[in-house]
Chains A and B, each alone.
Chain A
Amino acid sequence: MSKAKAQQPAVIHKVIMVGSGGVGKSALTLQFMYDEFVEDYEPTKADSYRKKVVLDGEEVQIDILDTAGQEDYAAIRDNYFRSGEGFLCVFSITEQESFQATAEFREQILRVKNVNSDKSDDSIPFLLVGNKADLEDKRQVPVEEAQQRSQQWKVPYVETSAKTRANVDKVFYDLMREIRSRKMEASKQNNGKIRKKEKSKRKCTIL
């Protein structure tokens, strides 16, 4: 069995953490990747954002791209978004501005994704995440407001706390499930279209 698996490497789901600076994207990522606090964390290691997990009995790999530290580099954000398959859009419930920023992030993601896929613009795997839920007394973004936005976007809304670890696994697993179902849909559609695509590709090369 292990041999079979070695031949067929686990599917990789690419998750991108977006949100303004200081909302706890990195803390969420680290909590999920390492469960508990790490002593010898090496931020430069190549595999430090990749992890094997079991998703509903199936072994998959999750690849997390944390945009921390690069929120202000507008120029590269666009490229990052293109490589992502699913998005955790994080804000801090203690900071209204970070919540407002999610709208802009969402818009940019939709724009970038629209361009790349010719598939009709049905939803991208996307979760709205309100972090720092442990700081209830400093809350600035009411649950209702966040839920309203998530309904408007037709995406799930989850409140997390990187500190107490509440819902940390949930958001990542929920997102991976969405990515997986999206991929399955896409592969179904593609099976029918492959021939068409090949044809058009050939034409291109001739031109």
Chain B
Amino acid sequence: MLSGTERSSSKVLTSCEWIHQRLRRIWHSHDIISGAIHTMLKQIVYTKIGLYEKKKNRRSPHNHKLKENLSSVIRHGVDGVEDQDSCCINKRDQVLMITADILSNYPAMCSDGSGCCQPECTSNLPKSMPAEEVMPVIQSNIDYMEEDKPLIPGVTVRAATADKLVHICIESFSKEGDLIEDTEYPNVMYLMHKWFISSEDLAETFIDLYQNCHETIECTKDVCDHLPSDGECEIQIYKAKICYAVRYWISHFPVHFDLDNRLKTVVKRLGSLLLSEGNTSFKELIDLSKVPSYDWMRNMSVRSSAMRHNRKVSLVFNHLEPLELAEHLTYLEYKAFRRINFTDFKNYAITASLKDNAKLERSIALFNGLSQWIQCMVLSKTTPQQRADVIVKFVNVAKKLRILQNFNTLMSVVGGLTHSALARLSKTNACIPSETQKTLMEFTELLSSSNNFSNYRKVFNQCIHFKIPILGVHLKDLILLHTAVPDKIEGKLINFRKMAQLSQTLRELTKLQNQDSIPVCANMDLVNTLRLSLDLHYTEDEIYELSLAREPRNSLSSPSTPTKPVVFADWLAGVSPPDPNTINKHVYDMVEAVFKNYDHDRDGFISHAEFEAIAGNFPFIDSFSVLDADQDGKISKAEMKTYFFRANCHALRNSFKHDFHETTYFKPTFCIHCTGLLWGLIKQGWKCKDCGINAHKHCKDLVVMECRSKQHAGCNRRVDSVSNGPGHQDLTYSTKRKMSQRQKKTRVHQGTQTEEIYFSDYGQMNGEGEFYDEHNTLYTRLLKTEEASDKLKEENEKLRKKLIAKDEKIKLLKSQMGSIRNNTLTYILEQMDSLKSQRHTEV
């Protein structure tokens, strides 16, 4: 039996997951573990153990692995059947019993390494134990498991209790306070401790160990008073090591202390404990007063004062050099990235949700915002060549980002440029030089997700000096590692190998967050301008619609986008736009920056020409006259702030969405899309309330013209929606003026649509009754009929009068309408003229 199994299992022996697998398979495939399976299981397990023991002489034992597997089966079983029917509880008990059998008969598994190893001992197994006795067996006295192949030098613990982990940390220091053999253990321990214990509790553990070390540590000296001055006393040495360990914590992870007042309190308590024992020299070791301030981590928008070199740059996109843009984007990126702390990473890895994770959310919002900004900047251009030029510019920015080793922003830029909203623009792509296309391809290749981002990982690891990682990739690593490996093994031991594995990623990230030298000096004005540009929030749908509008699909393929389901908030957009306060602040900063740089005569206003230059940074910014709310030919700070705050709520949501209404035309009118006549007498076509274009019913969804004229006519609606924007009082005058014009327009609508004629009663005409002379009865009947006839005639007369009155009313209304129509037409023509002239100036 044994030799047979040995032969057949020589393959699987390499992996001790084998037992685990078998047990789980059996667990899932049988409702109740029958006696036969029970026996079989035991045989499998014991044979397996025997084989392990034989190998033991050659290699290190795998006992703890085996045991871990078994207990994981049990845990799994117990978890899986809670609150379930009794049959499953039976099953659970059975598995527990089997395991208990194994464990009680196989001491080697409980204590590492030692114990009998003869397969023969399997033959005389005692009867199985009741379930309640099992758990104590499993949770035997192990508080520590050794690692057989350390991942990180010095980290030799596989799993242990928290107390034990702290103890190991303390023992990593020599009595002189140096790290023994340069072990990495304290680093990993301090870095990762928040995964399984709060900093406060960790510090408490240090105090506990300090206070109890009289019992746990044996002094080797024959006579000893355990006085602090005694350099040979083991207890005092241990206490010193505790202090060194805490000192190491404070000096290497000061940020833990700065941000955590409760931790500070505990450490101070340790300090006073030391003082009370007269350990003044140690007390100095754990001095917290030198911890630097990490204000910038606490507050989302406090600016670091170190970065105030003011270099002269242009704030205008068209004049902005790719290098400048890349540097400033890097600056923004780095600031967002370095704020994310350990807890943020941990929470995201565990919950995979951005809820209550503002710093990470901000970083992701920046990422998405940049990518969308790029798409919109491209799509805001009207001709393919112009769009291609913008793409080329951003590819050049990408090149600079690659040189700066800012991979996160690079990913965002390349992601934006290769997004399907841009990739589908075949006319535009035809205008892009092949060289640029090649560069873009190379970047796509570099950042490709294939082979688990192997290209990126390789390049990233080779990069030295300043670099910013693609956060998403590393977050994914954390999540997968967290999913793949349990936090605890044996039910209570902290899985420290997992901590070591996680620390490899997290240490890299935290190291990169604390790079000293940013190879960038930023101009705060440009930073502020960019920041606001990136705040503008669009949804994927909006951008895609825009793309379709710029270069419509082939007429052959179906024109409609896939059936659109109910919109579930802005989920797909991933991250909600920044809160109003943040935006307000960004708007404020940006406007200040713009005025600082462009208000040359310092009169607090921006002129038309200056405005045109700034507008280039914001795709779909409205024209000068809209921002200039009081129409005085200059834009004041208040006007600009109001506009941008509003624009953020509004974004480009309406740029391409016309507000079509069925309309009756009184003059031959042509469809803007197919240029055909709008046929019919009434309700010939559809008119956009905002920009006034007309279209066929079947054409109205295909219209590709932007709804631009509403800059003038539709402005007031947006003004209305701003209730708390600063300086909105300034707008009231123009709003009123425009409102009145608009009301005229809507009256025209009502006129055409309520035009109905009241003929309904007119049809009931009376016929004259015939006269018969035969009977009185008949005569009286005649009289009655005559009476009735008279009445009817009277009624008829009344109705006729009414009708005439109505006709007159209609005539009146029609004449009114005519004059209003004339007014409106001249107004529209004026508008069109002004638009044309504006376009000319823009060109």
A residues lining the B interface (CB < 8 Å): 20-22, 26-27, 29-30, 34-39, 41-50, 63, 65-66, 68-76, 78-80, 82-83, 97, 100-101, 103-105, 107-108, 110-112, 114-116, 118, 121, 134, 137, 163-165, 207
Contacts and interface: CB of A to CB of B under 8 A. Distances in A.
Contacts of B540: 74, 78, 108
A70 B419 contact: no
Contacts of B420: 78, 82, 111-112, 115-116
B412 interface: yes
Interface of B: 17, 20-21, 24, 28, 65, 72, 80, 83, 348-349, 351-354, 361, 364, 367-368, 370-372, 411-412, 415-416, 418-421, 423-424, 430, 444, 448-452, 454, 457, 472-473, 475-481, 483-486, 497, 501, 505, 540, 544, 557-558, 561-562, 564-566, 568, 571-575
Contacts of A82: 420, 423
B562 A107 contact: yes
Given A44-B477, A75-B371, 9 more contacts: A30-B484, A37-B485, A44-B452, A71-B352, A80-B449, A115-B424, A116-B420, A121-B557, A163-B80
Contacts of A165: 24, 28
A118 B476 CA distance: 33
A36 B544 contact: no
B480 to A, nearest CB: 5
A79 B485 contact: no
A82 to B, nearest CB: 7
A110 to B, nearest CB: 4
Contacts of A69: 348-349, 352, 472, 475-480
Secondary structure class of chain B's binding surface, majority of residues: helix
A39 B423 CA distance: 42
B472 A207 contact: no
Given A72-B364, A114-B562, A115-B424, A104 B571 contact: yes
Given A73-B364, A78-B415, A21 B353 contact: yes
Given A75-B416, A107-B565, A108-B572, A83 B449 contact: yes
A75 B568 CA distance: 19
Contacts of B83: 137
Contacts of B484: 26, 30, 34, 37-38, 41, 43
A27 B483 contact: yes
Given A21-B353, A72-B575, A79 B452 contact: no
A164 B452 contact: no
B480 A22 contact: no
A74 B449 contact: no
27 contacts: A26-B479, A30-B480, A30-B483, A37-B20, A38-B485, A39-B497, A42-B501, A68-B476, A69-B476, A72-B368, A74-B572, A74-B574, A75-B367, A75-B371, A75-B416, A76-B415, A79-B415, A82-B423, A83-B448, A83-B449, A103-B568, A105-B572, A107-B565, A111-B562, A112-B420, A137-B83, A165-B24
Contact of B472 (A22, A49, A70, A114): A70
A43 B473 CA distance: 10
A121 B28 contact: no
Q: Most chain-B Cβ atoms within 10 A of its Cβ — which of A20, A68, A100, A108?
A: A68
Contacts of B558: 121
Given A26-B480, A38-B484, A115 B423 contact: yes
A75 B419 contact: yes
B28 to A, nearest CB: 6
Nearest to B375: A75
A36 B17 contact: yes
Contacts of B370: 75
A83 B476 contact: no
A48 B452 contact: yes
Contacts of A34: 484
Contacts of B473: 70
Contact of A47 (B452, B479, B505): B452
Contacts of B348: 69
Contacts of B451: 46-47, 50
Q: Most chain-A Cβ atoms within 10 A of its Cβ — which of B371, B450, B561?
A: B450
A92 B65 CA distance: 32
Contacts of A65: 449
A70 B575 CA distance: 12
B412 A75 contact: yes
Given A75-B368, A75-B416, A207-B430, A68 B452 contact: no
**Complex A-B, nearest 3 residue pairs according to Cβ-Cβ distance, in ascending order:** A21-B352, A75-B371, A69-B476
Contacts of A43: 476-478, 480-481, 484, 505
Contacts of A112: 420
A67 to B, nearest CB: 8
A73 B485 contact: no
Given A46-B452, A76-B472, A111 B352 contact: no
Q: Most chain-A Cβ atoms within 10 A of its Cβ — which of B418, B420, B421, B557?
A: B420
Contacts of A71: 352, 574
A42 B478 CA distance: 10
Contacts of A137: 83
Contacts of B562: 107, 110-111, 114, 121
Q: Most chain-A Cβ atoms within 10 A of its Cβ — which of B72, B353, B484, B544?
A: B484
A148 B505 CA distance: 42
A21 B481 CA distance: 15
Contacts of B573: 74
A73 B368 contact: yes
A100 B28 CA distance: 31
A166 B428 CA distance: 49
A134 B348 CA distance: 24
Contacts of A49: 452
A79 B368 CA distance: 13
A104 B17 contact: no
A75 B352 contact: no
A110 B557 CA distance: 14
A118 B430 CA distance: 18
B452 A36 contact: no
A118 to B, nearest CB: 8
Contact of B568 (A36, A42, A80, A100): A100
Given A69-B348, A73-B472, A134 B480 contact: no
A197 to B, nearest CB: 15
Contacts of B572: 74, 101, 104-105, 107-108
Contacts of A37: 17, 20, 72, 484-486
A45 B561 CA distance: 39
Contacts of B411: 76
A131 B809 CA distance: 69
Nearest to A82: B420
